[in-house]
Amino acid sequence: MNQNTSVQSHRPVVMSTRGMVASAHPLASIAGLRALMDGGNAFDATVATVAALNVVEPYMSGMGGVGCLLAYVAKEKRTRVLNFTGRAPAAAEPSLFTNENKESGILSVLVPGNVAGWLTLHKTYGGLELERLFQPAITYAEEGFPVTHLNSHLIADGQTRWSAYPSSNKILAPHGKAPEPGEKLLQPQLADSLRKVAKGGKEVFYKGELAQRIVEGSKDLGGLLTEEDLSDYDAWWEEPIEINYRGYRVLSTPPNSDGFQLLETLKILEGFAPSELAYGSADTLHRQIEATRLAITDRIEYAGDPNHAFIPVTGLLSDSYVADQRSRIDMARASAVQGEQYNPHASKDILLPGRIDPALLGSTTHLAVADSEGNVVTLTQSLGSGFGSGIAIGDTGIFLNNVANWFDISPENDVPNKIGPRRLVDWCPTPAQVFKDGDFFLSIGTPGSYGIAQTSAQMLMNVLDFGMNVQQAIEAPRFKCIAGRAVEMESRFSPEVLAELAGRGHDVEVLEPWSRVVGGAQGIMVDHSNGVLSGGADPRRDGYAIGW
């Protein structure tokens, strides 16, 4: 197994042989592990885990959110993508939106996709009864769970978003204030909604009682969701996109996900010899940052709904294009990007997309689950911002997402990611799976908005280039490029390296040593020679890997 003894980690790698669950909260990981121990497979355990996450991190994910996953199905010897992003409502005309109302409130809501995703995965590959899988989540919601220090901080931090809605206050501040660490948070309305979905399946959420209550609550607040928006929705299976990176197959999710940004970043960096990539050096970090900025520029230029915009993934990942991109890296000088989304007011010295050969144009959570049969699920899902729209809709206890915020609304430009009726949004998750010599090797991913693809590329390089184990790869210090030449970097990078990067023109903003700004990852590594699963989880949040 990979081992880089020079990189310190503060948690041990969790190892097991029968199964592994790595999620953003220990109670959710336990719910998934219980499914495995009861004879379920990785797909069952995923459903149990995500249902529990709905309860124990209500600000990050839940039935009102959206997501996507990679499912490696051992008996089929293939990885499949399940997309449950959610769509803009049919009435989502661009003229209705401002930067403010697409960021919070009822107009920021896309059709929730998570329930369709969870239940499609279960119907296709699960084995245990759905009511059994939802039971831990229902118990946590009905009987309460102790709020962690991070829970308490994020609930209080999001108060300006949710406090305007009585239905949200009833859940999060029943005694007039956000809960303190160690207090129990009870969510009886959510327990009832979970029980209805466990018994009635997708029908009850998209066409039945819950659908009616969601639509009525939305209309009462002036929202756009209709019965047809929900009843017409379903998750769908897709093929992953992939590259070869130094002999490894690296797979991620296709557009409307930003997986191509992750893969393009790696392909640009693959052209540098291993001797040019010394872990943590200023030269290596400069190359990583510049490759990231080039890939960000292409993502802003091309990303959007693949049903309405041509996204030249083949061209962007071609050897000739990435070679041209690599040649644009100036080792003495930092480049600038327009930001994280389309910015018509960006300065004139920003990076522009490269030229593609015409012949080639053709608040979030992450988890990983593996079982003894070789199945692996790599899943990222989100409400968007913390508590999404801020609205616990009606009396369902379900917080609705604000993922419309990831659309562009510029009225003077018809950009690929412009909001419109029933459109898919370009959004950030880039779950990744890696294969070595034909065998499954690594599952990894993270939350972190537009930093997700950046963090994922860094973690993958930590394993594939720098020989780290999964826990080291997750804990190692990280950076995030933002607008212009700004780059946020955890203070665990050496002062000398930070100073050298600043000398090349990078606008270095030093973060705390362990910053949630750069994500909260989970991962699982597979050692086939010994039949061992190794799990890692991010100390930047409440994540824990638990094996059996």
DSSP letters for 217-242:
HHHHTT----HHHHHT---EEEPPEE
Contact in structure between 444 and 376 (CB atoms under 8 Å): no
* Strands of the sheet with 507-511, listed across from one edge: 479-481, 486-490, 507-511
Of 430, 442, 322, 454, nearest to 379 (Cα)?
430
Structure tokens belonging to residue 232: 């017409």
Contact in structure between 481 and 457 (CB atoms under 8 Å): no
Cβ atoms within 10 Å, residue 537: 32
Residue 58 buriedness (CB in 10 A; 0-12 / 13-18 / 19+)? buried
Through-space distance between the first and last CA atoms of the chain, rounded to whole angstroms: 19
Active site residue 364: yes
The catalytically annotated residue of 85, 148, 292, 364 is: 364
* Strands of the sheet with 364-371, listed across from one edge: 236-238, 78-84, 66-73, 376-382, 364-371, 19-23, 544-547
Beta strands in 331-389 (DSSP E): 364-371, 376-382
DSSP letters for 86-104:
----TT--GGG--TTTTTS
Place of tokens 């609304």: 409
CA distance 156 to 468: 36
In whole angstroms, how far apart are CA 103 and each of 98, 112, 417, 423? 8, 16, 15, 17
In whole angstroms, how far apart are CA 410 and each of 95, 138, 353? 10, 42, 19
What backbone torsions phi and psi does residue 359 show, to the nearest 5 degrees?
A: -65, -20
Cα–chain center distance at 196: 27
Q: Which residues of 18-42 are buried (b: 16+ CB within 10 A; e: fewer)?
A: ebbbbbbbbbbbbbbbbbbeeebbb
Count, residues in the chain: 548
Helix spans in 271-312 (H): 282-302
The neighbouring-strand residues paired with 242 are 251
Handedness of CA 50, 54, 59, 63 (dihedral sign): positive
Catalytically annotated residues: 364
